[in-house]
Structure 1
């Protein structure tokens, strides 16, 4: 992995900070692959529901995580839509519900689950290059990455962004509930013992609260160009 350290950019942060959109834009412009690590946990949550697995059954959860039959497909057009398939079934919308997100957040607290998904995530990195979007990409999954970004934003703004995203996906949502879920998820992510949500020591922290996606992208792209010329 160290030999590919310049071919990996990590974008970490909580829900609604804009990391998914920024990561897809970067991957598209660079011609690199894209990893939505949150989708892995959401897909696992979907699998847990499908198999009626108890979230306290650690052995079963580990097996499901290791064998998770997930595939990503990024459309090559301006919307950069990411299609997610679980066992060849399109679950793109199904895994984006708030209910699924809450289960995924609970699964992410389980050390054994995180370890089971560790290799799956690292396997996404190839000589082609990778933009990895998540919560512990720069601290745990790709600690040797040369460029690490950590995005933050005010909870109210993040809730509004999430509400808009769900509406665009055709998912019913309530703004008050979304904010409550975001705050609860933040607490779980920050306080969990295994891979807590925090910036890597060498990460560049960017507050996106009062910035447009284009402004954030321009900021990060300048860092990419600086790294490529260095």
Structure 2
């Protein structure tokens, strides 16, 4: 299941290495969250009548593939070549390194197979799964807890965005958006508390995942939109 909250936070820290590279940092952070957009496809297939397990199987396939990452980079490289604008090359590099960081983190932080070589995986060879021989006690509880913390991570990410916006030299250009992020992070914290309560109430895992996806999709979209709108604050 999607974990873009932790990817957003981890990318913030990793991107400090590249803080002086204009266009790169915001693209890196955006790319670190982007692969989980495939949860939209999972949701659509579920709404169309596919069972929950087949719907979830769409997740961590084509958007988490090394081949997809290479194609994205080649597209931006081509745009840079055609337009003679070097910024598109930097954007492509940032996006693809962000996506790569997402994939690597998913391999270690989630207990499900990942199709790193989609479409070769899972159709010709088995997906990558370093946890397949590991038996975890209370696995469902751990998964629920990780998912609940996604909303807290989004809340922290929003707080970081607000602080970076306040500190930017061009605050007038972005101040209008702060009120929306402020409302968003309050919602995210409320969702975190709700999902912790659901864990306490021992809600069935399938029901939990469906409710999670319903709340997570708008959270992820807001995180991506916020990153794009405030992309220039990462250059200060």
* Structure with more relative contact order (C-alpha pairs < 8 Å, separation 6 or more): 1
Say which structure is richer in strand.
1
The structure with more radius of gyration: 2
Query: TM-score normalised to the size of structure 1?
Result: 0.31
Instruction: Return the TM-score normalized by structure 2.
Output: 0.30
Counting helix residues as a fraction of each chain, which structure ranks higher? Answer: 2
